[in-house]
Structure 1
């Protein structure tokens, strides 16, 4: 499968780095261009023709929504995902009217970015499978189909292990902890610990922070933001 090409329009260096590294870790996506201004984004789009564009709203020389509108007027064959701290319903409505397929609120969780990528991949695959679709498939594409009741914990997350992690976080009173530290406390691998931490992050119980005081690549640390771990 050819990788889906992505462009980022983001003037915050840290947010841009986080998005780029997360997207490039996905096997089906690759970042081909990064822009920090509206004018640069329009030029970069014409040069790279990405399939998917992540767009911030507040930019040094304008508004990201205006960039989407201009590209729509140029009949640009791409899709858009908003990445912004703006939560006003009028802003969300404007984005939806322009056909934005997802809207990520800052600070953006890495698990939420991965969810957006997986949703988009499935969205593209549905169109690629067949030349026609029935009503049920259209409803699913437009997210109008009834949501099936989900499992208490997703695949790959064991309820007993998750409960053990929650107990450790409550009892140890940890601050700025890493997947390595949690892995040692739980006697599991770093990869396993990170998977459980990312689940708690997706539930809004902890948050990811990047420590840039390393002299190299930033270190991934987590902080508890809710005591609702019981």
Structure 2
């Protein structure tokens, strides 16, 4: 069964990016989207989400205050912040309220996927045993020593990655899509998107959404110079 997700976000573009990215994950489904604290209360009670993405600055209130209110109502869910606010006092307040992640706008798609995977690992650790030892608790609270990072993550071949980077730097492509790369590299669109998202997470590319399509926005990538 998929994890029920609710979004509280008044920026339509940010909301669409979040919803489409989350729904791409096979274990999550967005069941409710709100643009205000008032509507969020109604939607929360109606859909009982298990995970809520919350913006801080909203038309009729503050996302942190809403989380505190829901906590007082014994809400059985977890919260992830999505905000442009970076002040340490704001981050500290979010931590005090028990948010499990804090995503700073503009949010990368790869960072959203990471937040979802971290949530799944967190839940799996809690349900896999009735008790936990100190190492398990340290992992849950993200206090474990940093593990060595692989040169490339699972699903990313180093040789293919270098070939793609060579293509991008040689042709200096601008506003290109996964379909464009798929044709040039002779592999599937899904594979192309995976490599492009990895390069985005590495700060080599940036994702832009083209809304001049008459329908759903088109995902395009640009080289970061």
TM-score (norm 1): 0.95
Segments of structure 1 that go 5 or more residues without pairing to the other structure are none
**Deviation (angstroms), 1:187:** 2.4
Segments of structure 2 that go 5 or more residues without pairing to the other structure are none
**Deviation (angstroms), 1:144:** 0.5
Equivalent residue for 1:155? Answer: 154
Distance 2:180 2:33 in 1: 33
Equivalent residue for 1:220? Answer: 219
Can you list the C-alpha shifts for 1:50-103, whole angstroms capped at 9, x where unaligned?
110000011111111111111111111111000011111111111111101001
2:152 aligned counterpart, secondary structure:
coil
Matched, 1:140 2:139: yes
Equivalent residue for 1:183? Answer: 182
Equivalent residue for 1:60? Answer: 59
Matched, 1:32 2:34: no
Equivalent residue for 1:9? Answer: 8
**Deviation (angstroms), 1:188:** 2.2
TM-score (norm 2): 0.97
Structure 1's consecutive aligned runs of 4 or more residues displaced over 6 angstroms after TM superposition are none
Equivalent residue for 1:196? Answer: 195
Preserved CA contact (<8 Å) 2:85 2:104: yes
Can you list the C-alpha shifts for 1:184-220, whole angstroms capped at 9, x where unaligned?
2222222221111010111122111111111122111
- Aligned residue-pair number: 225
Distance 1:110 1:23 in 2: 9
RMSD: 1.1
